Structure formats: structure tokens, C-alpha cells
Amino acid sequence: QVQLAESGGGLVQAGGSLRLSCTASGPELIYSHYNMAWFRQPPGKEREGVAAISVGGANTYYADPVKGRFTVSRDNSKNTLYLQMNSLKPEDTAMYYCASGFQFEAGHIVGVPKYWGQGTQVTVSP
């Protein structure tokens, strides 16, 4: 069992930046064994993958709308996942979720993640 807790969301003006964090915990957790990802769900829309990173951090995935603006990273010594979001746009407004427990093959998330955080709200004003 893996518990995920996101933080760092908030209200920011277009063009601004935010850094999201996700800390993992759980009995006998070996964080470095888990691929990690960020998803988001805009108002009235379905949840979508934003970025993902492999167990050692060597491989990453980014959705087309965020390429060049968002950077995913992890610190396995702190059991923490990050999402640096720059040049934010109003269309980035969404609930952002941390997720784990999935396969990561050829730079893509395979299957539905088994573990999810509660989410952190990001709102970008025009």
C-alpha cells in the first residue's frame, strides 16, 4: 500500500510558475521501485496524464500541451516527486494528482495507476 500526498497548488497569474510536490509513504515502501506520474483533471473534463518519470529518473514522459513548460523530477532519498510548472496558462487550471503503481514502457504510461493522491488545485488567472 502506498499513500501519496500532494502540495504546492494555488492561484497564479498567466505566465507565472508553481512547483508541485508529492510525498509517498507506506509500510515497507521502497519508493525507488515505483514509476511516478502527474495527472490533471480540468473542470468538466476527464483526467489526463501530464508527466511521468521512471524509477531511477532516466526516462520521462510529457503530454504535448506541457512540453517545454513543465519539468518532472524525483528525489528518491526524500520519497518525493516534483512538477515544476512554468509559463502557466489559464488552460492549465485543473486538479493535479500524483499517481503510482503503473508500468512505464517506451516512454508511455501503461494501464491505470494503482495509487492516487487526493489532489491539489491549480488555478491560473488570465
Task: Give residue 12's pLDDT.
Answer: 98
- What's the confidence (pLDDT) of residue 105? 85
Check residue 106 and give its pLDDT. Answer: 82
The per-residue pLDDT for range 51-88, each reduced to its tens digit, is 999 998 899 999 999 999 999 999 999 999 999 999 99
Report the C-alpha gap between 4 and 98 in whole angstroms.
Answer: 7
The answer to whether the beta carbons of residues 3 and 27 sit under 8 Å apart is no
CB contact set of 52 (below 8 Å; sequence gap of 6+): 35, 36, 37, 38, 60, 61, 72, 104, 109
Burial class (CB in 10 A: 0-12, 13-18, 19+), 28: exposed
pLDDT in tens, 89-112: 999 999 999 999 999 888 888 989
